[in-house]
Amino acid sequence: MALQIAALLTSIALLPTFVFSVGTPFGLATGTTGGGNASPQTPSSITELATWLSDGTARVIVLDKIYDFTGSEGTVTGSACAPWTCTPNPQLAINANSWCDNYEPSASKTTVTYDKAGTTPLKVASNKTLLGKGSSGGLRGKGLKITGANNIIIQNIKISEIQAQTQDAIQIDGGNNIWIDHNTIQAIGRQMVVTGYGAVTKTTISNNVFNGDGTYSATCNGEHYWVALFTGAGDQITFALNYLYRTSGRGPHVGTSGYYQNVHIYNNYFVSVGGHAVDPEVGSKVLIEGNYFNTVTTPILQGDGQAFAPVTSAQTAQCSSLLGRSCVANTAISSGALPGTGTDAGTLNGFTASTYKSASIMAASQVGSYVQSNAGVGKVN
């Protein structure tokens, strides 16, 4: 951690007139440069933003306000279903791509009207930095999608109000060298970050606020269920220093049949999670260390994946032979038991790369105050 802070301070001190990204990507995204040293540009409209994000030019795109897509494409009235039957305020699902017909055929049917802009994300091409200014930059009503692209930084932006019941905030279907850092994501229909089946490698998701507080929920407790889902064919992701607040599931869900994923989950602060946090499913290897779980019903769900979440010194020492260092213990207060199901030391053989060995991880006792004061928009640039 000291190294990361030193690197951050150094890069701030050396900033010339232009601001590119702030700080240096760490973990698996180390080396990512995004738009590099292209001159920063602020789009004049949502149309120009869409063009700049998707074209073949390396760009540093600075957002100095919320780019509001709501209403820009009109509304859609279509069929939907009610797969969650809890009360109060269960979330609905729209029947996009026949989702209700295929997955929830017995759910009751209904009709909903929703904002069309939320149904199609902005395409993000290779060699882009998307950077918010202060605490003012962001997207409202439309998310982002990376498909088979690489070298992308998404930093210090707010993404909110994508309410089309099946729509995600940041989708990545294949890609590498991706750094998603210091963003604040809230009020999203579905996943806040999601990978498809294409491999997502050399990727770090850090210092973000995933704010699940809302009215409608699949778990009917005002807490958003769909935080993060990693299902790619060989995903390699660092998930660190994030703040998950009032969420109720998929924090993150890792794994899908036929593929494998390694996710290093460290120094995250989970607070008021009325459901589960980490959900290791088939195919996953998840190393969970130095996290702080505060009022989390189930810190680690019993899934079909492999998870290692050390708590005792005997458990942290089990990392030494493969990682060349001890792991850092997790802590939970007012929460379900740790390590829970995270006791599979065989998980560690997925984490022998130098990035994992040299990771700078703070003690769990420091995580709450650090993450609360450093995560989300307005902390960098």
Ligand X SMILES: *[C@@H]1O[C@H](CO)[C@@H](O)[C@H](O)[C@H]1NC(C)=O
CB closer to ligand X out of 58 and 233: 58
Residue 105 tokens read as 């055929």
Three-state DSSP state, 307: strand
Q: Are 78 and 150 in contact, with CB atoms under 8 Å apart? A: no
Residue 56 in the binding site for ligand X (CB under 6 A): yes
In total, the chain counts a number of residues equal to 381
Q: What residues from 142 to 201 belong to the interface with ligand X (CB under 6 A)?
A: 151
Residue 127 in the binding site for ligand X (CB under 6 A): yes
CB closer to ligand X out of 56 and 105: 56
Residue 298 tokens read as 């189930």
Q: How far is the CB of 214 from ligand X (least distance, A)?
A: 37
Question: Which of 325, 336, 258 lies closest to 289, judged by CA?
Answer: 325
Active-site residue, from 140, 190, 246, 250: 250
Tell me the C-alpha distance between 320 and 323, whole Å.
5
CB closer to ligand X out of 58 and 345: 58
Q: How far is the CB of 150 from ligand X (least distance, A)?
A: 7
Residue 126 in the binding site for ligand X (CB under 6 A): yes
Tell me the C-alpha distance between 375 and 44, whole Å.
28
CB closer to ligand X out of 70 and 126: 126
Q: What residues from 2 to 41 belong to the interface with ligand X (CB under 6 A)?
A: none
CA-based angle 279:280:282, to the nearest 5?
Answer: 130
CB closer to ligand X out of 126 and 326: 126
Site size with ligand X, rule: CB under 6 A: 5
Residue 120 in the binding site for ligand X (CB under 6 A): no
Residue 80's DSSP bridge partners are 94, 110
250 is catalytic: yes
Residue 372 in the binding site for ligand X (CB under 6 A): no
Residue 201's DSSP bridge partners are 176
Q: Are 243 and 215 in contact, with CB atoms under 8 Å apart? A: no
Q: How far is the CB of 172 from ligand X (least distance, A)?
A: 16
The catalytic residue positions are 250
Site residues (CB under 6 A) for ligand X?
A: 56, 58, 126-127, 151
